[in-house]
Amino acid sequence: MFDTKELRENIERILKTDYGKTLAKAQTHEKYNALSKAIMGTIVDNWDETEKAYSTGKAAYYLSAEFLMGRALGNNLLNLGIYEEIKELLKKMDININDLEEIEEDAGLGNGGLGRLAACFMESCGTLNLPVRGYGIRYSHGLFKQSFKDGFQREEGDNWLKYGDPWSIRKEDEAVIVEFADEKVRAIPYDTPIIGYATRNINTLRLWKAESFKDFDFNLFNDQKYNEAVEDKNKAEDISRVLYPNDSTEEGKILRLKQQYFFVSASLKDIIRQYKKNHGIDFNKFPEFHAIQLNDTHPVVAIPELMRLLVDEENITWEIAWDITVKTFSYTNHTILAEALEQWWNGLYKKVLPRVYEIIEDIDRRFIMELLQKGYDSEKINSMAIIYKDMIRMAFLAIHGTHTTNGVAQLHTDILKFQELRDWYDIYPNRFQNKTNGITPRRWLALCNKELSQMITALLGTDKWINELTLLKELEKYLEDEQVLNKILEVKSEKKHQLAEYIKIHEGVEINPNSLFDIQIKRLHEYKRQLLNAFGILDLYFRLKENPEMDIVPRTFIFGAKAAPGYIRAKGIIKFINEIGTLIGNDPQVKDKIKVVFVQNYRVSYGERLFPAADISEQISTAGKEASGTGNMKFMLNGTPTLGTFDGANVEIVQEAGEENNFIFGARVEEIEEIKESYNPKEYYESNPRLKKVVDTLIDGTLSDGGTGMFEELYNSLLEGASWHKPDNYFIFRDFMDYVKTQEKVDRDYRDRIAWAKKCLMNIANAGKFSSDRTIQEYAREIWNIEPKKI
Ligand code: 26Q
C-alpha cells in the first residue's frame, strides 16, 4: 500500500531541510518530527478527498472548548495499519519506535472527561466515515504540568508546542475576524487530521489561534518603546494562550468569555462561508446541511451568535432565524453539580459582547411571554428565566435554543429529567435524550494493551472486534477454559511489571509488581471522594499495626490526579495522601504489605500505562454526582473489576458485566435523597472508633500539612461544614464502613486466581456497549441525522 523506501527518503530529506542534519546526528524529537511529517505527506490526498466528499451533504460540527487528544504518532500509525511496518523500518534505521512515541508531548488541551470524550468522539467519527468536524481552540499552553514538592502540588506551564506540532497545518487563507466591543482579532485555523481506523477517510479537527492584525508597531519600536511595540500582538494572542485549569465553573472572567466567543464566532463564520459557497444565500436549508453539537455550556454563546449573524448580517427575520437556530443546535449536559452549571454576570456580557447580550435579552423576553401564555406564575417563571438576578443561566439558554438536550449516562439523564431540570422536561419532553458515553477501543485497548489485544485476536480468530466491539461477547465461551484464564492473568502481570518499571523511572519509587494494584485516576474533586479511599488505606494501616499477623494480599494503592490550582481543599487532599504514603513507606512493619504511590502529572499518556495494569478500578463518587465517568470504561475494557458506587455509567457497567464480577457498595441516589436533609456525620464519627481514628489523623499530629492548616480545614469541612456547604457534603462517613467491608471482599476474592480471572474476562467480554463507536452512531442517527460517507 505504501512505499517504505520512499518514506525513509522523505524522513531523511525532512531532517536535512528542517534541521540541516543527517539521520546519524538528529535528536530524538527531530526524528519524531520528521517521521510525523513524512506520514502527513502520505495522507494529504485522502484528507482532501474526504473534505470534498463531505462538502456536498449534511455534516455535523462538534463545538468544544476542550479536546484532550494525548499523543498522535502511535495512534495514527495503528489506525493507518502501518504500526508494525514502521516499527521494522525504524529498526533498520537504528531507531526504537518507543523512543519516538515517548518523546511526543501530549496535546493536553482539556481538563479531563469532557475533553477526552471529545477526542474519543473525533476518532470514532473518523473510523465510521461520518462527516463530522471538530471546532475548538488551539491553546498555546494546555493543562498545567504537575509535580510534587514535599508532597504539595506544584504547577508549571505546559509549553507543548516548543518543538512544533507536525500534526497540524496552519491555514492562513481561511482566517476569519472576530470582534469584541474593545478589540478585533484574527482567528487562524490549524487543521489536524483525524485518521480513522482501517478506512481511507480522514476527518478534520480545526482549532483556532488568536492573532493580532498588526504584527508589531515599528514606530514604537524605533522610539525604543519595546513593550508597547508588541502590546497589541500580545493582547490578541492572550485569548488562545492558555486553557483554564478548572473542571467546574469558577468566577466569570473576561478572558474566559473571550475564549468562548472567539472560537464560537470563528467557527460559525467558517461554516456560513462554506454554506454560502455551496448553497447560496437561502438560509432556510441551513439545518438540512448542518447539525451543530454544543459540548456542555462552554460554546452556548453560539445560539445568540448565530441569531446575530442571521438577523444582522443576513437580514433574516427573527422568527425564521430562531427556527433555523433551534433546528441546527443540540446540547450535551455533563454535570448535575449545581455549582458547575455555568452562569455569567450580564454586566460582563454587556461590556464585552453588547449586541450578543441584547439578543440574549430578546430570547429571554420572548421565552417569558411563552411561559406567561401557558399560565405559569411568577415564581415558576423566575426559576426558569434565562436571565435572572443579573446572571445568564447558560444551561437554560442551551435547552431553550436547541432541539435536543442529552445526558451522558442513563442515570444522569434520568436525574436531569426528573430532578434537576424537571421544569424543562415538562415544557420540552421531546427534547431530552440519553447518550451513554463511550471510549475508543483503538487507543484504550489496541494501542495501549497490545498484549491483551493479540490474545483477543488469537482467541476470536479475527481483529474485527477493534471496530465492532460487541464481538468481545464471544470471549464468554472461554469462561471455563483454564488456559485462557491463566493467560489473562499472565498478560495482566506483564502490564503490571511494565508499569512498575515506568514508575521506578518516573517517580523514583519501587513497587511490588506481584501486589494487587488498586488504582484511582481522575481529576481531584471532593465528589469523586479520593478522601474515602485515603481513609480506607489508613484504616487498613492501623489494623495492620494492631495485628501485624493479619493476612492480607499485598496491595499497592496508586493515585493520579491534578487539582485545579485554586481549589485549595483538593490540594489539601493531595498532600494528605502523600503524607499517608510517606508514613506507610517509612514503616518497616507494613511496607511489604501496603504501599501508596501518587504519580505525578497524570495525563492521557500516563493513563495508557495505568489502565492496563490495574487489578481494581476505584469509581467511588457520591451516588448522583458523577454524570458518567469514562475512566471506569477504560479499566473495564482492560479486564479490571470496578469497585464503585451506583453512580454514572457504573450502573450500566455492572448491568453488562454482572454485579458478581464487580464490587458495588454505598448509598444509592434514592437513599442520598432521603437522608440528605437530616444527615448528621457526627453520629457516624462518634459511634465508630475506626472511622474516628482515621479522620482524627487530620488533626492529631499523626500527619503533618507543613503548618498550612490544610488538614484542619479538611477536618472542619467534614465535621462542621462551611458557609457554602453542610458537613461531609459528599457522605464519606455514610459510606465508609460499606467501603472497607467491600475492600475486604476484594481481598478475599483476589486470592482465588482463577475465579478472579473470570471476573476480568467477564468485564472484557461485556465492554462492547462502551465503545464510542456505539455512542457516536446514536448521536448520528438520533440527533444529527447524518449518514456515513466513505471515500
Ligand atoms: C467552565 C467555566 C469556567 C471554567 C471552567 C469550566 C469547565 C471546564 C471543564 C467546566 C467543566 C469542565 C469539565 C467537565 C467534565 O469533564 N465533566 C465530565 O464529563 C465527562 C464526559 O461526559 C463525564 O464522564 C464526567 O462524569 C463529567 O464529570
User: What is the SS3 string spanning 350-363?
Assistant: HHHCHHHHHHHHHH
- The end-to-end CA distance of the chain, in Å, is 16
Burial class of residue 532 in the structure, from the number of CB atoms within 10 Å of its CB (0-12 exposed, 13-18 middle, 19+ buried): buried
Q: What mean pLDDT comes out for the span 394-420?
A: 97
Closest residue (by CA) to atom 9 of ligand 1? Answer: 247
Q: What mean pLDDT comes out for the span 217-236?
A: 76
Question: So what's the pLDDT on residue 1?
Answer: 55
Q: Would you give the DSSP letter of residue 444?
A: I
The region, left, alpha or beta by phi > 0 then psi within -120 to 50, assigned to residue 206 is: beta
> pLDDT tens digits for 310-328?
999 999 999 999 999 999 9
Q: Using the mean position of ligand 1's atoms as its centre, give its distance from the Cα of residue 112 in Å.
A: 7
Q: Using the mean position of ligand 1's atoms as its centre, give its distance from the Cα of residue 627 in Å.
A: 10
Closest residue (by CA) to atom 2 of ligand 1? Answer: 249
* Spatial contact of 396 and 424, defined as CB atoms under 8 Å apart: yes
**Whole-number Å distance between alpha carbons of 197 and 771:** 13
* Spatial contact of 653 and 642, defined as CB atoms under 8 Å apart: yes
Residue 224 or residue 606, greater confidence: 606
Q: Using the mean position of ligand 1's atoms as its centre, give its distance from the Cα of residue 254 in Å.
A: 20
**Whole-number Å distance between alpha carbons of 718 and 732:** 9
Q: Using the mean position of ligand 1's atoms as its centre, give its distance from the Cα of residue 340 in Å.
A: 8
Grid look-up 493582547 returns 235
Name the catalytic one among 256, 298, 528, 759.
528
- Among 109, 242, 241, smallest CA distance to 167 is for 109
Name the catalytic one among 206, 634, 758, 769.
634
Question: DSSP 3-state assignment of 9?
Answer: helix
Summarize the chain as % helix, strand, coil (round to 5).
55, 15, 30
Question: So what's the pLDDT on residue 224?
Answer: 75
664 CA to centre of own chain: 24
> pLDDT tens digits for 554-567?
999 999 999 999 99
* Spatial contact of 761 and 713, defined as CB atoms under 8 Å apart: no
| Ligand 1 site residues, Cβ closer than 6 angstroms | 111-114, 117, 244, 246-250, 256, 334-335, 340, 342, 408, 437, 626-630, 648
**Whole-number Å distance between alpha carbons of 300 and 305:** 9
Position 126 pLDDT exceeds 60: yes
Check for a shared fold between 4-437 and 442-669+730-776: yes
Name the catalytic one among 290, 522, 525, 609.
522
Atom of ligand 1 minimally distant from the CA of 256? 3
Position 741 pLDDT exceeds 80: yes
CA dihedral 607, 609, 615, 619 (to 10 degrees): 0
- Among 289, 241, 300, 405, smallest CA distance to 57 is for 289
**Whole-number Å distance between alpha carbons of 418 and 412:** 10
> pLDDT tens digits for 138-173?
999 999 999 999 999 999 999 999 999 999 999 999
Q: Using the mean position of ligand 1's atoms as its centre, give its distance from the Cα of residue 507 in Å.
A: 28
Grid look-up 500580545 returns 234
Position 54 pLDDT exceeds 80: yes
**Whole-number Å distance between alpha carbons of 9 and 751:** 55
**Whole-number Å distance between alpha carbons of 715 and 720:** 8
User: Any idea which fold 4-437 has?
Assistant: Rossmann fold (3.40.50)
The residues facing 176 across adjacent strands are 187
User: In testing the pocket of ligand 1, which one of 244, 247, 348 has its CB within 8 Å of the most ligand atoms?
Assistant: 247
Closest residue (by CA) to atom 19 of ligand 1? Answer: 114
Sheet holding 387-388, edge to edge: 343-345, 391-393, 387-388
Atom of ligand 1 minimally distant from the CA of 332? 22
Amino acid found at 523: R
Q: Would you give the DSSP letter of residue 417?
A: I
Atom of ligand 1 minimally distant from the CA of 110? 9
Question: So what's the pLDDT on residue 216?
Answer: 64
Phi, psi of 319 (to 5 degrees): -60, -45
User: In testing the pocket of ligand 1, which one of 122, 246, 636 has its CB within 8 Å of the most ligand atoms?
Assistant: 246
For the question of residue 374 being annotated catalytic, the response is no
For the question of residue 571 being annotated catalytic, the response is no
Show the CA angle centred on residue 494, arms to residues 581 and 609, nearest 5°.
55
Closest residue (by CA) to atom 12 of ligand 1? Answer: 247
Residue 546 or residue 213, greater confidence: 546
**Whole-number Å distance between alpha carbons of 286 and 274:** 11
Atom of ligand 1 minimally distant from the CA of 248? 10
Question: So what's the pLDDT on residue 340?
Answer: 74
**Whole-number Å distance between alpha carbons of 337 and 328:** 27
Q: What mean pLDDT comes out for the span 25-44?
A: 98
**Whole-number Å distance between alpha carbons of 706 and 150:** 9
Name the catalytic one among 630, 642, 645, 775.
630
Choose the weakest-confidence range: 245-254, 302-311, 355-364, 637-646.
245-254
Question: So what's the pLDDT on residue 582?
Answer: 98
Q: Would you give the DSSP letter of residue 108?
A: E
Name the catalytic one among 334, 393, 562, 769.
334
User: In testing the pocket of ligand 1, which one of 111, 333, 413, 436 has its CB within 8 Å of the most ligand atoms?
Assistant: 111
Show the CA angle centred on residue 174, arms to residues 171 and 178, nearest 5°.
115
Q: Pairing between strand 202-211 and 132-137?
A: parallel
* Spatial contact of 742 and 643, defined as CB atoms under 8 Å apart: yes
| Domain ranges for the chain | 4-437, 442-669+730-776
User: In testing the pocket of ligand 1, which one of 334, 339, 604 has its CB within 8 Å of the most ligand atoms?
Assistant: 334
Question: So what's the pLDDT on residue 32?
Answer: 98
Q: How far is CA 206 from CA 43, 86, 344, 388, in A?
A: 17, 27, 27, 35
Question: So what's the pLDDT on residue 231?
Answer: 81
Closest residue (by CA) to atom 13 of ligand 1? Answer: 247
For the question of residue 522 being annotated catalytic, the response is yes
The DSSP secondary structure of 333-353, one letter per residue, reads -----GGGS-EEEHHHHHHH-
Q: What mean pLDDT comes out for the span 464-488?
A: 98
Q: Using the mean position of ligand 1's atoms as its centre, give its distance from the Cα of residue 628 in Å.
A: 11
Q: How far is CA 383 from CA 362, 363, 379, 702, in A?
A: 18, 16, 6, 48
Name the CATH superfamily housing domain 442-669+730-776: Glycogen Phosphorylase B; (3.40.50.2000)
**Whole-number Å distance between alpha carbons of 606 and 370:** 51
Neighbours of 37 (CB within 10 A): 19
**Whole-number Å distance between alpha carbons of 405 and 296:** 10
For the question of residue 591 being annotated catalytic, the response is no
Neighbours of 234 (CB within 10 A): 12
Neighbours of 720 (CB within 10 A): 12
pLDDT, mean over the chain: 96
* Spatial contact of 471 and 456, defined as CB atoms under 8 Å apart: no
For the question of residue 630 being annotated catalytic, the response is yes
User: In testing the pocket of ligand 1, which one of 62, 64, 67, 114 has its CB within 8 Å of the most ligand atoms?
Assistant: 114
Name the catalytic one among 523, 575, 603, 758.
523
User: Which cell numbers in the block locate residue 622?
Assistant: 457520591
For the question of residue 634 being annotated catalytic, the response is yes
Q: Using the mean position of ligand 1's atoms as its centre, give its distance from the Cα of residue 335 in Å.
A: 7
Q: Using the mean position of ligand 1's atoms as its centre, give its distance from the Cα of residue 334 in Å.
A: 6
Q: What percent of the chain has a predicted confidence (pLDDT) above 70?
A: 99
Instruction: Tell me the pLDDT band of 338, cut-offs 50, 70 and 90.
Output: confident
**Whole-number Å distance between alpha carbons of 502 and 504:** 5
- Among 305, 307, 304, 302, smallest CA distance to 320 is for 307
* Spatial contact of 559 and 597, defined as CB atoms under 8 Å apart: yes
Q: Using the mean position of ligand 1's atoms as its centre, give its distance from the Cα of residue 66 in Å.
A: 9
> pLDDT tens digits for 250-284?
767 999 999 999 999 999 999 999 999 999 989 99
Phi, psi of 373 (to 5 degrees): -65, -30
Q: Using the mean position of ligand 1's atoms as its centre, give its distance from the Cα of residue 16 in Å.
A: 44
Q: Using the mean position of ligand 1's atoms as its centre, give its distance from the Cα of residue 552 in Å.
A: 38
Q: What mean pLDDT comes out for the span 600-605?
A: 98
**Whole-number Å distance between alpha carbons of 534 and 529:** 9
Closest residue (by CA) to atom 4 of ligand 1? Answer: 249
> pLDDT tens digits for 627-665?
999 999 999 999 999 999 999 999 999 999 999 999 999
